[in-house]
Chains A and B, each alone.
Chain A
Amino acid sequence: MTVLEKKGISRIEWPQILGLTVFFAVLPLFLPKTLSMQILFYALLGLAFDLMYGYGNLLSFGHALFFGVGAYGAAITFNTITGNPLVAIGVGLALTVAVAAAIGPAALRRRDPYFALVMMAFNIFFYQLFVAPLAPWTGSDMGLTIRRMESFWIIDFSNKTILYYIMLAVAFLLMILIKIFMKSKYGALLIATSESEFKVESLGYSSFKIKYLSLLFSAFLAGASGALFATFLGYSAIDFIAPTFNIIIVFIALIGGSGTFLGPFIGSFIYIALTYLLTVTMGWHASIYLDGLIGLIIIIVMMKFRGGLYRYLYQLAKGIYVREPMR
């Protein structure tokens, strides 16, 4: 295991990760910090989704569940138990992984149409749980504002600039973690199960265990981005767990190119630009049309440009796109 991970680290494409980190480090010079943070964490969420879809070929319409549970887990812990950010984010992560572990056996029972829609059904289940019976803790559909947040060690969490760079550092670690997972035996096996579960089984691996592990890792990533983003905002919106959020995740992963590392970052950037543009041109009504516009773009991308923007740009730059080095 450790040997494999060491091998993995030596094969990580450092320029991609370092380039992204530098990019997000200078982004606050041009954009508000909240917006840059949103781009970063939506992209990580897109990567978590893409881990299942782009690599495992398991389409999920329910990753908003993990993002939302992470965000709410952190926010509720802040409000009721402790002001310590490490504990709160840890609780958010633990809750997310626990939820994924609980729903995994039912969701992963069968492949495509089942997995996608069962994930969405669980998402709606938890959404309704959060809106009504758990309303005293979750604040129902008004969202939840984090009321207290203590400084940790020497770090002042009320200073958004410092907070931004701490979050970026954590995101940097998460990106390395994704690369390690993809380069490890499990990443290869996940891709193999997408081709043929039967052949993977005949090699002596349990395809269910591989998918289950990937789901847990994917949930961990999504939960981490949710918990971190909620901590940064000081607020957890009901939109984070709403089933309608899923199509945005799909959009982010697909428009940039699923199965690529940089794709979700491009997609996330485009999503934020699109919302901004719509709000500027249409004002308050923009959110009504956003879903439909996103749907329309996804249809066009899926029917005509399945590779996504990243592959298209890569081909434009290098003349040919063979395949993502990770796959």
Chain B
Amino acid sequence: MDVTYILQQTILGLAIGLTFSMVAIGFSLTFGLSKVINLAHGAFYALGTYLTFAAMHLTNNFALSLIISTGSIGLVSLLVEKVLVNKLYGKDIDLSLIVTFSTLLVVSTLIKMVWGLDPKSVSPPQFLTTQIYLAGATLPVYYLFLATCSLILFIFVWAVINKTMLGRVIKAGSEDKDRVETLGINMGRVFTINYVFGGMLAALGGGLMAPLISIEPSIGSRIILLCFAVVVVGGMGSIFGTMLAGIIIGLSISYVTMFNAPMSEAAAYLVMAIFLLIRPKGLLGTG
């Protein structure tokens, strides 16, 4: 176990951790605002990776593929929200858990029907496949690219939530939905915008992760639990908590991979269990 390998795994952990937190933030925002646990979020992530794969096949342009997949997931999440999820607002949480989990399964089955069971892979553009040498260690540029992209998107989300009118409405709506409605704001529309925004973030995260993972139909249900672990560790409704938690989960996954690769995801759930025992409201959570 040399130092360079540890450095490499650290950068990888940071990169995937930031991506996890980017996917998790949409999940967390939907729960905070509309009190719906949206497990279909994992489906958007999985569809995002698969659509990136399909678009890469057609256009052979990574950036364009990301835009295509994110845009189409925007439409898909709009459809899901209009048909299914808007009937869940104000209902029991167990109802939304069961219904959105079933939606995730239906989408996974559709993926299996369209793309088959065998794993797929995406290769990133040429200039991102090179490696750089830092302090004697070899670092794939893609890790750095992923970390930078996620960080930029994270700052964007933070700015939207804290600096725009929409963000203020979302924050206020999380606290007291009825009182915001008395101000003449159509909360139903805000819910929809929030949901589609989260879905597109998940798709973008999926598209960015696509070159690093083997794309399988089950990635949707795996990412949703990792998202949940991130949200539990970070605390519901805290943006920076989610980012910190993403880094913690990402690092624990990449470090455990060094010792025992098959147990790497299980390590993330162990971290979550420990946090639930010693700090149930999360790192920076309020409630």
Contacts and interface: CB of A to CB of B under 8 A. Distances in A.
A157 B263 CA distance: 37
Interface string B251-282: 00000000010110110011011101100100
Interface stretch (A26-34, A37-45, A105-113, A271-279): A105-113
Contact of A131 (B98, B260, B262): B262
A171 interface: no
Contacts of B37: 113, 117
Contacts of A110: 276, 280
B102 interface: yes
B98 A291 contact: no
B94 A103 contact: no
Given A113-B93, A120-B225, A128-B266, A296 B276 contact: no
A133 interface: yes
B273 A103 contact: yes
B99 interface: yes
Contacts of B189: none
A250 B97 CA distance: 11
A59 interface: yes
Contact of A250 (B93, B98, B106): B98
A112 B109 contact: no
B276 A118 contact: yes
Interface string A97-125: 00000010111011011101110111011
Interface string B105-117: 1101110110001
Contacts of B117: 288
Interface in B178-221: 221
The secondary structure that dominates the B interface is: helix
Contacts of B94: 53, 57, 59, 112, 116
Given A106-B277, A112-B93, A128-B262, A291 B108 contact: yes
B229 interface: yes
Interface stretch (A160-168, A297-305, A310-318): A297-305
A243 interface: yes
A130 to B, nearest CB: 11
B273 A121 contact: yes
Contact of B225 (A117, A288, A289, A298): A117
Contacts of A133: 260, 262-263
A137 to B, nearest CB: 15
A132 B265 CA distance: 12
A113 B31 contact: yes
B202 to A, nearest CB: 17
A295 B102 contact: yes
A122 B229 CA distance: 11
A109 B280 contact: yes
Contacts of B99: 298-299, 302-303
14 contacts: A61-B97, A106-B276, A113-B31, A116-B94, A118-B273, A118-B276, A121-B228, A129-B263, A132-B262, A243-B221, A295-B102, A298-B102, A303-B87, A303-B99
Given A131-B262, A132-B262, A254-B98, 7 more contacts: A61-B101, A112-B92, A113-B97, A114-B232, A121-B229, A250-B98, A288-B117
Interface of A: 53, 57, 59, 61, 103, 105-107, 109-110, 112-114, 116-118, 120-122, 124-125, 128-129, 131-133, 243, 247, 250, 254, 288-289, 291-296, 298-299, 302-303
